[in-house]
Every structure is written in C-alpha cells, then in structure tokens.
Structure 1
Amino acid sequence: MKPARTRPPMPATLVVLLLSLLLGLQPLTTDLYLPALPALTGYFDAPMHQAQLTLSALLLAFGVSQLFWGPLSDRFGRRPILLAGLALYALASLGSVFAASMEQLLLWRVLQGAAMGAAVMCARAIVRDLYHPAEGARMMSKGLTGLGVLACISAPLGALLSDWMGWRAALGVLALFGAAALALVLLRFQESLAHPNPQALRPQQMARTWALILRHPTFWAYALLVTTSYAGLFTFLASSSFVFINALGLSKTQYGLLMFSMSAVYILGTVLCRRLLLRFGVRRTVAIAGALTLLGGNLVGLLGWLGWHSVWAIMLPYYLFILAHGIHQPCGQSGAVAPFPQAAGTASALSGFLMMSVAFAVGWWLAAQLPVGLEGASVLPLTQGLWFWSVLICAVAWTLVQRYGEVHGAAAKRANPTDSIGHPKP
C-alpha cells in the first residue's frame, strides 16, 4: 500500500476554500432558515411541529443519504458525487422557493438534505484522501473556520431577508450558493481519491467494510464525540428562534445578531483548536474542550432551572459550549475517518448518519416540548437540553477519546484496514 500523500494536488488555499464551501452548506441550509421559521409557520397557517419537521426531516435525509453517497464516492471518486449532489442541491433549493404548501416545502427540503449529504460527506473524505491524520485535523479546523464565517452571516442575512422580502428570499440565497459551489467544483476541483475501490459497491464488500468500521473503537470514540457535540448545537439551533423571539421578545434582527455572535465564538474555537493541537495533541485537546463544555452546559441548565430566564443567562454560558464545539468538531470529524484511508467515504457516511439520526430525534423531542404560539413559551427545552448533552459530551471526551483516541500517528498505521476492504496488499 502506498502511503498517504503529504501534499495535495491542489493548492492548500483552494482546498481550504472548497472545504469551507462544502462544509458550510450545512449551517447555511439550517441557520439562514431559522429566523424565517415563525413567519413561515404563520404564512402557511401550519402547526409548530410541521415547521420543525422541515428542519428535522432535512437533517434525517442528510444523514441517511450519506450511507449511499459514501460507498459511491469510494467507488467512483469524490468529483462525480460532488457534481451530482451540488446540482441536486441547487435544484431542490430553487424548488423550495416556489413551494405552494408546507407539504411541498417539506418535500423539497428532504431532497435538499439528501443532496447536502454528498457535499459534506465528500468534504470529510477529501481531508483523509489528501492528508495524514495529524495534518488532517488541522486542515479540518481551517475548513470549519470557513464554515463558521458562513454561519456568522447566515442568521443575520436570513433575518434581514425574512424581514424585508419574506421567507422565500431567504431560501433563494441557498439556490445561488449551491450553484456557485457547483461551478467551483466543476472548474477547479481535481479528484482527490487516488485509487477508487472497484469493489466498494458489492453488497458483501460493503457489509465487510461497514462491519470493520463499526467494530473499530477509535471510530466510535470520535463519532460519538461529534454526534453528542452536534446534538447540543442542534438543540440550540432548533429551539433558539422560538425561545429568543417568542419567549424573550427579541426581534428577528436582534436574534440574527445573537446567532452572529455565537458563530464568531465558534470560529474562535476552531482557531484555538489548531493552537491546542500543536501543544497538547488530540486527546488532551479534546479533554480541555470537554471541561469547557461541561462548565457552559451546567451553567445554562442551572440558571434556567433557577428561573433566570434572560438572553444573557443563556448566551454567556453558551459561548463556552460553542467555543468547545469548535474544538470537538475538527478533532472528531478527522478522527472518525483517520483509521480508514481507503474507505474514508464510507466512514464519513456512517459518522454523518449517526450525527443526523440523533439530531432528528432531538428535533422530534423539541417539537413536542415547544408550545404553539406565544402562550406558554419557555426557555427550559433549550436550557435543559443543553445541560443533558453537555454531560454526555464530557463523558465521551474524558473516557472513550482518552482510551481509544490514539489515531494521529502510529495508531493510524496499526489500524490500517485497506487489505480488508478490497485493495491488494503491497
């Protein structure tokens, strides 16, 4: 087996730009939409749970679709999957703009989520294609910094567009972004997978590959880290517009500015991640972030339980949580695929599916907890949910990652599964 390439065939700046755009599809598709949720619910005269379903169903389609995109990308390469996925994303985004009912919007959002799965899954796999694990974590953090920049502008832009031109304008931006990402991949992206696996789509081979990945403790350590961390973030994203606008009385523009500040702290977390990785390595970096997560989540939960229901009683401790999220995600997303250089697409898909399945369950729980309209609006579903997930994140960071997280370096070589997934031995 040839060693992983230490230098990508594309300039590093182009790789970071591509990662930022591909990974950034996810916060754009969710965050830019959030300020419009209350208005959209009123426009269609739909119950709250239907509005929540347009978000949670998108994420479920996003997760499930990766189980198909991953093996396809291992078989045919990342480029054709990216082109197909981004073309479908742009089409589905355009369809959602002209939806005439909540049911039509739900259908287009499901297609949008399925298409988004190709982009995000390939982005994680590209990092493993081009970089050794240690460098991959740092490159992933740079790509997630770009994601944070896009997340910064998403909520304020969504709020402004929703206020000035209505919710359809907010969804129209997604179609334009998808088309721009498609053009960049078409014109500049060079295939990153050096040796596509011709056996990747054979049922027996797929079953062996999935079993190999799912038996690997390092995969579970990092996949659970990113899953629990994202579940905490999604708890905030799915409930925050109703909590801050309906329960606490903020305008959509004020809410957008809060989301901007949250994304800015997330960017700081990704930058801090790179510094910590160089000084402490992956496992100690994750442990430090786990302490920040637990502190922020405990403060949010306790203040909510004690009745301190205000914007800053939520946001100030949540900044600690989101700072740590900016550390957990680069380490976890790169760590989950690192032991599988020849099945990075499938490993990325399984990790993504786990994340989105849990997010879907969180969305259903929140839909049952959040009241319809202004009457009875409460901050507790948000604060108690964050409290719960912060404890789980810290538990994973301090136990599983510390025990099984040695993947950056010698452990990656010991965990090399390529001889078991259809590639010839050297």
Structure 2
Amino acid sequence: MSPPFVILILSLLLGLQPLTTDLYLPALPALTKSFGTVPAQAQLTLTALLLAFGLSQLVWGPVSDLVGRRKVLLAGLAGYTVAAVGSTLAASIEALVLWRTVQGACMGAGTVCARAIVRDLYAPEAGARAMSKGLSGLGVVACISPPLGGLVAELFGWRTALMLLALFGGATLFVVARRFEETLRERRPAALRPAVLAGTARQILGNGTFWAFALLCTSSFGGLFCFLASSSFIFIGLFGFSSTAYGMVLLSLSACYIAGTMLCRRLLVRIGVTRAVRVGGLLSLSGGGLMAALLVAGVNDPWAVMAPAWLYMLGHGIHQPCGQSGAVGPFPQAAGTASALAGFLMMAVAFASGGWVGAHMDGTASPLIEGMAFWSVSVALVAWVLVRRVGPRHEPAAPSAAGAASRQGCA
C-alpha cells in the first residue's frame, strides 16, 4: 500500500468515531422530542455508544494481534453498518440505545486497528507524524459532520442523519475489502490465552511511557467530550441557535483541531515530541482557564464558550497524535493490545464525563465550562509532568536507514 493510501485508510477508520458522535448531535434535541423523552435519557445514545466502544477495544485489540488487522476490520465494519441501519429504523428510545451500543462495539475495531497499523508500519517518531496526518483527515470528517447533520436533520429529519452513518460505514468497508493489505508481519498465536493476555496487560500497564501518553490523550478527550455531551442543549436550547448554526459551531472547533494537527507536525520536526506536548498543554490550559474566568466574571454569551474552546481544540490537535502513537510505541509486538487499553481508558473517561455533565445539566453553560476547566488542568499536568519524565525515552535516536525510509514514506 502506498503511503497516501495508508493515510486515507487511517483517516477513514479514525473518522468513524467523530462522525458517529458529531453527525447526529445537531439532531439530538429533535430526537429527544420525537421520542417524548428527557435529555438525560437521550444522551444515553451517546454515552452508551462510547462505553461499548471502549469495552470492545479490549477484545478487538488482542484479536487483531492473533488474526491480523484485515479480518478484524472486515468484521467490525460490517457490524457497524448493520447497526447503523438498525439505529435509523429504531421505533423507541430503548431500541435506539441498543443499536447505538452495538454500533459503538463494532466501531472499536476500526480505531484499534488504525492505531495498531501505525505501529506496524512506522517507528515512534514517524508514527506520530503519520497519526497526525490521519487525525487531520479525522478533523476533515469532523468538520463536515455537524453542519451536514444539522442541515439534513432540518430538511429530512434525524433518521436521515443516522442513515448517513450506514452509508459511510458501507463505503469504508468497501475500500478496506478491495484495497487494504495486511500490515501485521508477525501474528501472536497465543494472544488470546488468559495467561498471555494477563502477562501482556501487566507489561503494558507497568510501563510509564504508556501511562504518560495514554493519560495525555485521555485527559484531552475528556474535556472535548464534556463539550460534545452538553453543547447541543446549551447552544440550541439556551442560546437559541438553529441546528444548522450549531453545526457551524462544531465545524469551527474541528477546523481548530485540524490546525492543531498541522501545528503538531511542525513542532515534532522542530522541537520533538516532549516539547510539542508542552506547547499543547499551554493551549489546553489557556482554553479551559479562560472559559472558567469568563464564567466567574458573569459573562453569559456564546462567544465566552466558543473562543476558549478554539484554544482548547488547538491543543487537542497536538495531544491526540502524540498521545495515541506514544502509547503504543513501546509495544511493537502487542500494538493491538496496547491500543485497546489506551482506547478503553479514553472511552471510560468519556463515559464518566458525559454522565457527570448529564447529571448536572441545569439550563446554564456551567456544567460544560466546569468540566472543560477541570480537564484542561489535568491535560497540562500530564503534559508538563508525566510526559516530561518519560520524554527522553520517547524522543527518537539518530535516524537509521530504515528509520529515514519510514519518515520519507510518512512525509
């Protein structure tokens, strides 16, 4: 597979998660009204999906180390597409939550394999650059999703927005089936044996580099999810935005995220992983801190939420490539399992964040702001303390011929 095609595959696989969450967010209030339910129950269509997404990665990761990335991708994408159709046709909120849970479980295959593919093909530094390009593609998907979802929901209803997920899943399945070649060079026949699984998990969970980078992307995602879980009700219900206008809000955040991934690539070349992450920590803290300061000052305006969130998303665009590639970097022989554990940690935190925000919704923007402020401090602490401690071990050594070749392919 050519390097550009690898980046395309990464973009499609990594784009599944933001598309599945962001596309229907503008339709969430209409969906809530359609089923005659309350926001907290409607939010289960998001939080249950992400919990299943996180748990499923613990299975998909070791399985991909055993049978390869291709078979796992084919099975996961097929299940995702079927579940998307089921979500579209759901007759009750309970059925919708069930189908979205299945969809989240199948979606885990794509994300786990995307991170593992990066480790299969690239050394850690080149992997961070490849991941940043794949996550730029994710950002493009995330840019398109909210305004498209808002427009489709206004014109055709929320069910049509969910049907678009089935079309995307089917298209990704087609590309993988036709063009994707197996990247796992050495399979692990004993990967699913309990003793081997336990030993591999102990090795990964006992590694300081894994924890530093896994917590980096987890903390950053926790803040983003506070925004995703509550912003539709705040911007549409509190600030009076239309579904389409709210979609444009999410588009602006995705554009800042793409800018962050581009900034990440420049910083990696110029100052390395550790210092790039420290810059990202400053951006994250500035965004969350400014948002909290405006809340304390009594500023109740959409711009008081949006402008600081743009800063936060610039930092998020740095933390995700570095964090996701850094967490699997030390484990070339167990990249699937390491990816699964990192992914589970991210989704467990997202589920907890969404639950906290849902329980504290009071008709104001305070829960969103308080949650993002908390996670911005957490991101900064991880970036400036934990990543700094393990940074020298993660920084690349002098390039070998093979390493230079992989970097040229990534570039």
Question: Structure 1 length as normaliser, TM-score?
Answer: 0.92
1:305 and 1:380 in contact (8 A); partners too: no
Residue 409 of structure 1: SS of its match in structure 2? Answer: coil
Cα distance in 2 for residues equivalent to 1:257 and 1:48: 22
User: 1:184: which partner in 2?
Assistant: 175
- Determine whether 1:110 maps to 2:110: no
Match of 2:394 among 404, 407, 416: 407
User: 1:417: which partner in 2?
Assistant: none
User: 1:39: which partner in 2?
Assistant: 30
Summarize the alignment of residues 321-360 of structure 1 with structure 2, pairs less than 5 Å apart. 321-360=312-351
User: 1:365: which partner in 2?
Assistant: 356
Cα distance in 1 for residues equivalent to 2:262 and 2:6: 17
User: 1:423: which partner in 2?
Assistant: none
TM-fit CA distance, 1:13: 0.6
User: 1:202: which partner in 2?
Assistant: 193
1:93 and 1:174 in contact (8 A); partners too: yes
Cα distance in 2 for residues equivalent to 1:67 and 1:93: 22
User: 1:61: which partner in 2?
Assistant: 52
Q: Deviations over 1:142-174 (max 9, x none)?
A: 000000000001000110011011100000000
Match of 2:365 among 370, 373, 379: 379
Match of 1:281 among 272, 287, 295: 272
Report the aligned-residue RMSD. Answer: 1.3
Structure 1 or 2: more helix by fraction:
2
TM-fit CA distance, 1:131: 0.5
TM-fit CA distance, 1:44: 0.3
Question: What letter corresponds to residue 270 of structure 2 in structure 1?
Answer: R
2:274 and 2:395 in contact (8 A); partners too: no
- Count how many residue pairs are aligned between Structure 1 and Structure 2: 399
1:282 and 1:331 in contact (8 A); partners too: yes
Cα distance in 2 for residues equivalent to 1:251 and 1:239: 15
Match of 2:254 among 255, 258, 263: 263
User: 2:157: which partner in 1?
Assistant: 166
Cα distance in 2 for residues equivalent to 1:350 and 1:359: 14
User: 1:127: which partner in 2?
Assistant: 118
TM-fit CA distance, 1:236: 0.6
- Determine whether 1:392 maps to 2:378: yes
Q: Deviations over 1:393-425 (max 9, x none)?
A: 0000000000013324359xxxxxxxxxxxxxx
1:53 and 1:363 in contact (8 A); partners too: no
Match of 2:283 among 289, 292, 315: 292
Q: Tell me, which stretches of 5 or more residues in structure 2 are unaligned?
A: 399-411
User: 1:238: which partner in 2?
Assistant: 229
Cα distance in 2 for residues equivalent to 1:103 and 1:173: 21
Q: Deviations over 1:38-69 (max 9, x none)?
A: 00000000111111111001000000000000
Q: Tell me, which stretches of 5 or more residues in structure 1 are unaligned?
A: 1-9, 372-376, 412-426
Distance 1:210 1:410, change over 3 A: farther
User: 1:18: which partner in 2?
Assistant: 9
Q: Deviations over 1:194-219 (max 9, x none)?
A: 01111101110000000000000000
- Determine whether 1:90 maps to 2:77: no
User: 1:307: which partner in 2?
Assistant: 298
Identity %, equivalent residues: 61
Cα distance in 2 for residues equivalent to 1:270 and 1:90: 29
Cα distance in 1 for residues equivalent to 2:359 and 2:125: 42
Deviates more, 1:307-316 or 1:335-344: 307-316
Deviates more, 1:307-316 or 1:215-224: 307-316
Question: Structure 2 length as normaliser, TM-score?
Answer: 0.96
Cα distance in 2 for residues equivalent to 1:270 and 1:304: 29
Question: What letter corresponds to residue 217 of structure 2 in structure 1?
Answer: V
2:25 and 2:232 in contact (8 A); partners too: yes
Cα distance in 1 for residues equivalent to 2:6 and 2:255: 22
Q: Deviations over 1:307-350 (max 9, x none)?
A: 11111111111111000100000000000000000100000000
User: 2:130: which partner in 1?
Assistant: 139
